[in-house]
Structure 1
Amino acid sequence: MRKIEIDDEVFAYLQRRSEPLVDTPNDVLRRELLGEGKTDSSAGSERGLGGLMFIIEAGLAAPGDQLMHHQPRRRRTHEATITADGWVELPDGRVFAQPSPALKAQTGSDINGWGQYTHVPSGRKLQELREEARGAQS
């Protein structure tokens, strides 16, 4: 990962567009610059396609499939659902374009959702499905 320096005005802009305790500055930049949409259910029909859409299109996951992350030391299990447009929906109804912000919302910690969420139907990590789908695109 590369590091960049930003001035106070740009940082304030990022803070105004972030969801507290969920978004990192990188999450906001990805939405603003790459058009990944909003991170909550207020996005509605304008939200665009989520980060899991290419995995659905590759036939490796389907809308309605469950995702799971287990924290054994905390004795907690977090569940989510893949939406028809490739977003990650939490049980409380919030939706996220990418798995990492979704899992961060559940755990309260920065965490790699691609590497930690398990796709329940296949028993595989999302990272594995992503790599397979990218390989199929080549």
Structure 2
Amino acid sequence: MTRTIRVDDEVFAKLQSLAEPFVDTPNSTLRKLLGLDRPASGAGSSALGPLLADGRLSVGQRLVWRRRNLNQVHYVTVMADGGLCLEDGSVHTTPSAAATALAGNQQNGWKAFATEDGTPLGDLR
């Protein structure tokens, strides 16, 4: 189960300064600071976990969504926990959640995103 907490800008800036860019999330940074182990629901059980585990994706890898009809290109970065970090810094647990956040309406992220060399994310499953 996840909970939402609100922190002020100063606390968030401190978390960012302690985080490893494109790897840590606010949650993983807090877990390190509190001396907590990684949760059992780490990358292995996330939507992208199997792709990370066997090397089809790597931590820090960028995925792209080219929206030709809107003349837009979106990039997301694969996180160590299997989440996807958008360019605005928000982290989403599934490709579809990331695509939906970018589009503002329901999207299938497995169809939307591809590797930078053009391989559709869904083809990696």
* TM-score tier (shorter): 0.5 to 0.7
Alignment match of 2:96 (pick from 88, 96, 100) = 100
d(CA) in 1 for partners of 2:92, 2:85: 7
Q: Which has the higher contact order (CA 8 A, sep 6+)?
A: 1
How does 1:54-133 map onto structure 2 within 5 Å?
Answer: 54-120=50-116, 122-130=117-125
Distance in 1 between residues matched to 2:54 and 2:105, nearest whole Å: 30
1:14 corresponds in structure 2 to: none
CA distance in 1, matches of 2:122, 2:65: 13
Gaps of 5+ in 2: 4-24, 32-38
- How many residues in Structure 1 have an aligned counterpart in Structure 2? 91
Distance (Å, rounded) in 2 between the aligned partners of 1:112 and 1:69: 11
Residues in 2 aligned to 1:60 and 1:81: alpha-carbon distance in whole angstroms? 14
Uncovered stretches (5+) of structure 1, i.e. residues with no partner: 1-16, 18-40, 131-138
Percent sequence identity over aligned pairs: 30
Normalised to the residue count of structure 2, the TM-score between the two structures is 0.64
Computed over aligned residues only, the root mean square deviation of the Cα atoms, in angstroms, reads 2.1
